[in-house]
């Protein structure tokens, strides 16, 4: 606020002075407007802004400026209203790139024109000049101070965004929070964060502002064009398509004059949006991962120095944040359109969650060990939506609600099975942030107490996150869970380096081998079974039992038994089922595997792996090695049970034994023969699983 006193510039006395100038003011203002813009046209910075105005926009600008100058000398103007009006104009100038020097020069020019009025008497002239100078002082002070306020607001917004970058645990929460902050900044009317789908059309995943919602409604109704990232399509020539292809920030200074915006021009004119910026968020290789799209009703808004600072900060901060979230959770890469995300959130909010239950069996006894509760959403078409689809669309609020409802249904299922004579325990997925967010612990404590459930019958499966930070917070929660008697299992063991690091830092009660490691067992059996063998031995060395997920066929089940896994889970045992089907399954399920007599090629491959390891361990002792080779191998049983005597596999098996007896297991001839036999076994695996 200026220290100057302006009492004489407002009120009845000032009004009397200004009444005398009123008949001449319009002519002077019109002359000033003409001369002002003629002068600006010679200055490169401002002329470039003016060049991006349509004739209609330029006429509108002149009319608004004329009206503002007329109000500046209104006899009834009070100081408070004047300051508010001047500050608003100052903000618009700052948000469209008008430099302070141009403002000062313009008002000085206007002052000279007014003071040249020869029709004013000497007495009136002096009084008018006093009012004029005081009002212009207020005008310039407010206009020139407005950029400072905008800088402070933007700085505060960037600090809030930086806090989000650090604290957000999901892509949806980060994107929503960032956009909600951005549209609070003056001049930014609406925004979206998007990524292309498989067809190359941008899907708006998170939006903010009423106008982009209107666009999405028009898009859904077929009344608007989607945005493409392909250069050969008319819908790919706008700033968003260009930004995705180039990896550089793209601007539309004036929608009405940008040829690339032709297919959306009429729609955007109806929305009163004049400029846009598309900011690609890049990975470490400078490849676009997502786009931040912002729109303004001000021409040239996003090329001002103020907003350039904003854009550079956004691109850098969100690049780091998105990389962290992807490392932590690959689901961040899944593209979920905004409408579908809202639909799935609505389903969850209105109790459309339906838990299904997949048995986990003890591979030694064949008995039911526990069941895993798996979330499904049932939509209005009675279709079940899997977690792989809806989890990427959920933020922290949805994840907590999902956990609470899933826990509630899981405990109800235990009570129902107890009444039907089936006693078991239940596993439930715990979001990664559940180990450092005490709200999950509060949900557990409250639900267990209210339902009178036994916490020792509950296992929480911690999903792989790629993140082992905040260990102190994790330790506090895990200690609380242990004190309650709740088991903690590491899900997806082996899916990342951090899963092994967490084994050292967190006291897990169980391990689950990631099904992704065994899903290609038919194509790469040595690798898939090697993972099971190595991770099982590793877990057993820690004294922790192991469950193998993804047992999709009898061969994998048999191999898991042979490789000493404790528990198994997968479609070959049972598919996820509604709560009422589990009792009948438990009463009829039968399971039996003889580790020494494999019936499948995968089982035979597993026994041969173990045979090889035993062979290698005995190689330094010739007598022990010879005694071992005299013993019948499990592979011999498989060849006999499958009537493969005399086959290429049988011949390769006999040849391998002959070679190892003559040369030992370290000779290159042995390794070649072993590779040949494994290739023949792999052919049998493919045949059995086709």
Render 260-289 in DSSP notation, one character per residue.
GGGGGHHHHHHHT--EEEEEEEE-TTS-EE
- Scored b (16 or more CB within 10 A) or e, 586-617 reads beeeeeebebebbbbbbbbbbbbbbbbeebee
CB 543 within 8 A of CB 566: no
The token pair that represents 509 in the structure block: 């009660």
Where do runs of H (alpha helix) occur along 485-600? 497-505, 525-541, 554-562, 582-588
pLDDT exceeds 70 at position 317:
yes
CA distance 674 to 655: 9
Report the side by side order of strands in the sheet with 250-252: 202-208, 190-196, 288-296, 275-282, 250-252
Strands (E), 309-423: 353-362, 368-378, 384-385
pLDDT exceeds 90 at position 37:
no
This prediction has a pTM of: 0.82
- Sign of the torsion formed by the C-alpha atoms of 605, 606, 609 and 614: negative
Q: What is the pLDDT of residues 612-622, one digit of tens each?
A: 999 989 888 88
Of all helices (H) and strands (E), which one includes residue 296? strand 288-296
Q: Which of 285, 278, 287, 291 is nearest to 318 (CA)?
A: 291
CB 275 within 8 A of CB 302: yes
Check residue 522 and give its pLDDT.
Answer: 85
Alpha carbon 198 to chain centroid, angstroms:
17
Check residue 112 and give its pLDDT.
Answer: 84
CB 443 within 8 A of CB 400: yes
Q: Which of 1, 182, 188, 185 is nearest to 84 (CA)?
A: 1
Check residue 117 and give its pLDDT.
Answer: 64
Mean pLDDT of the chain: 88
pLDDT exceeds 80 at position 510:
yes
Q: Which pLDDT band holds residue 464 (cuts at 50, 70, 90)?
A: low
The token pair that represents 677 in the structure block: 């036999």
Tokens 């469950």 identify what position?
547
CA distance 287 to 469: 27
Overall size of the chain counted in residues = 690
Q: Which of 493, 435, 427, 411 is nearest to 461 (CA)?
A: 427
pLDDT exceeds 90 at position 517:
no
Strand partners, 361: 368, 568
Alpha carbon 30 to chain centroid, angstroms:
54
Check residue 2 and give its pLDDT.
Answer: 38
CA distance 310 to 317: 11
Indicate the SS3 state at residue 156: helix
CA distance 21 to 55: 31
The domains located in the chain, with CATH, are 7-146 (1.10.490.10), 171-333 (3.30.450.40), 338-580 (3.20.20.450), 601-688 (no CATH)
Q: Which pLDDT band holds residue 6 (cuts at 50, 70, 90)?
A: very low
CA distance 77 to 83: 10
Of all helices (H) and strands (E), which one includes residue 279? strand 275-282
Burial of 645 (0-12, 13-18, 19+ CB in 10 A): exposed
Q: Which of 238, 221, 217, 220 is nearest to 229 (CA)?
A: 238
Check residue 43 and give its pLDDT.
Answer: 65
Check residue 336 and give its pLDDT.
Answer: 87
Q: Which of 473, 470, 467 is nearest to 496 (CA)?
A: 467
Tokens 């009429």 identify what position?
266
Q: What is the pLDDT of residues 325-368, one digit of tens each?
A: 887 777 778 888 888 999 999 999 998 999 999 999 999 999 99
Tokens 């090329």 identify what position?
303
Question: For residue 237, what are the CA distances in angstroms to 233, 234, 416, 565, 574?
Answer: 7, 6, 59, 56, 51
Q: What is the pLDDT of residues 655-669, one digit of tens each?
A: 998 998 888 888 899
- Give first-to-last CA distance, the chain, whole Å: 81
Q: What is the pLDDT of residues 527-583, one digit of tens each?
A: 999 999 999 998 999 899 999 999 999 999 999 999 999 999 999 999 999 999 999
- Scored b (16 or more CB within 10 A) or e, 202-226 reads bbbbbbbbebbeebbeebeeeebbb
Check residue 477 and give its pLDDT.
Answer: 83
Q: Which of 579, 674, 641, 157 is nearest to 374 (CA)?
A: 579
The 3 state secondary structure assigned to 565-592 is: CCEECCCCCCCCECHHHHHHHHHHCCCC
496-511: average pLDDT:
69
CA distance 305 to 325: 30
pLDDT exceeds 90 at position 452:
yes
């Amino acid at each position: 606020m200026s220290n100057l006193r302006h009492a004489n510039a407002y009120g009845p006395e000032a009004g009397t002075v200004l009444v005398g100038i009123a008949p001449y003011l319009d002519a002077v203002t019109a002359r000033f407007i003409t001369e002002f813009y003629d002068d600006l046209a010679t200055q490169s910075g401002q002329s470039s802004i003016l060049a991006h105005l349509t004739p209609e926009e330029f006429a509108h600008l002149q009319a608004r400026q004329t009206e503002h100058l007329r109000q500046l000398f209104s006899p009834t103007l009070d100081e408070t209203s004047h300051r508010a009006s001047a500050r608003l104009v100052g903000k618009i100038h700052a948000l469209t790139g008008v430099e302070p020097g141009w403002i000062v020069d313009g008002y000085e020019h206007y002052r000279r024109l007014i003071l040249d009025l020869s029709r004013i008497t000497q007495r009136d002239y002096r009084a008018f000049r006093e009012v004029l100078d005081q009002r212009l002082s207020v005008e310039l002070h407010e206009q020139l101070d407005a950029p400072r306020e905008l800088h402070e607001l933007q700085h505060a917004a960037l600090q809030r965004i930086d806090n989000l970058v650090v604290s957000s645990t999901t892509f949806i929460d980060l994107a929503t929070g960032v956009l909600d902050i951005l549209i609070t900044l003056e001049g930014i009317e609406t925004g979206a964060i998007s990524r292309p789908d498989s067809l190359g059309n941008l899907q708006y995943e998170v939006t903010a502002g009423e106008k982009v919602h209107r666009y999405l409604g028009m898009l859904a109704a077929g009344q608007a064009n989607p945005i493409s990232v392909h250069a050969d399509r008319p819908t790919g020539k706008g700033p968003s398509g260009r930004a995705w292809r180039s990896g550089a920030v793209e601007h539309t200074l004036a929608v009405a004059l940008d040829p690339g915006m032709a297919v959306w021009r009429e729609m955007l004119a109806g929305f009163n949006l004049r400029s846009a910026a598309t900011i690609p968020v890049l990975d470490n290789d400078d490849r676009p991962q997502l786009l931040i799209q912002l729109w303004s009703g001000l021409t040239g808004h996003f090329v001002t120095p103020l907003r350039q600072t904003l854009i550079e900060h956004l691109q850098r901060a969100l690049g780091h944040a998105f990389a962290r979230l992807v490392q932590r959770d690959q689901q961040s890469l899944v593209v979920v359109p905004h409408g579908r995300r809202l639909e799935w959130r609505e389903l969850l909010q209105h109790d459309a969650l339906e838990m299904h239950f997949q048995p986990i069996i003890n591979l030694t006894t064949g008995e039911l060990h526990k069941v895993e509760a798996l979330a499904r959403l049932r939509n209005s078409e009675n279709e079940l939506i899997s977690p792989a689809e809806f989890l990427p669309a959920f933020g922290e609020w949805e994840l907590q609600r999902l956990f609470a409802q899933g826990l509630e249904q899981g405990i109800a299922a235990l009570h129902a099975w107890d009444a039907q004579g089936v006693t078991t325990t239940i596993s439930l997925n715990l979001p990664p942030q559940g180990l450092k967010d005490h709200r999950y612990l509060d949900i557990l404590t409250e639900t267990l107490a209210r339902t009178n459930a036994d916490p020792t019958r509950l296992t929480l499966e911690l999903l792989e996150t790629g993140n082992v930070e905040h260990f102190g917070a994790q330790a506090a929660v895990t200690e609380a869970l242990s004190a309650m008697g709740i088991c903690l299992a590491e899900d997806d063991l082996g899916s990342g380096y951090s899963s092994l690091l967490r084994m050292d830092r967190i006291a897990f009660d169980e391990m689950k081998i990631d099904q992704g490691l065994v899903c290609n067992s038919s194509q790469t059996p040595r690798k898939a079974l090697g993972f099971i063998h190595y991770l099982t031995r590793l877990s057993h060395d820690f004294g922790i039992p192991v469950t193998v997920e993804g047992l999709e066929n009898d061969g994998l089940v048999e191999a898991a038994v042979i490789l000493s896994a404790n528990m198994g889970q997968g479609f070959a045992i049972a598919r996820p089922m509604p709560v009422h089907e589990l009792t009948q399954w438990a009463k009829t399920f039968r399971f039996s595997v003889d580790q020494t007599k494999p019936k499948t090629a995968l089982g035979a491959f597993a026994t041969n792996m173990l045979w090889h390891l035993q062979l290698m361990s005995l190689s330094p002792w010739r007598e022990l090695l010879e005694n071992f080779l005299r013993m019948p191998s499990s592979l011999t049983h498989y060849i006999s049970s499958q009537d493969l005597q005399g086959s290429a596999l049988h011949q390769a098996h006999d040849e391998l034994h002959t070679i190892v007896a003559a040369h030992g297991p370290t000779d290159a001839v042995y390794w070649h023969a072993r590779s040949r036999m494994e290739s023949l076994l792999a052919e049998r695996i493919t045949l059995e699983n086709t």
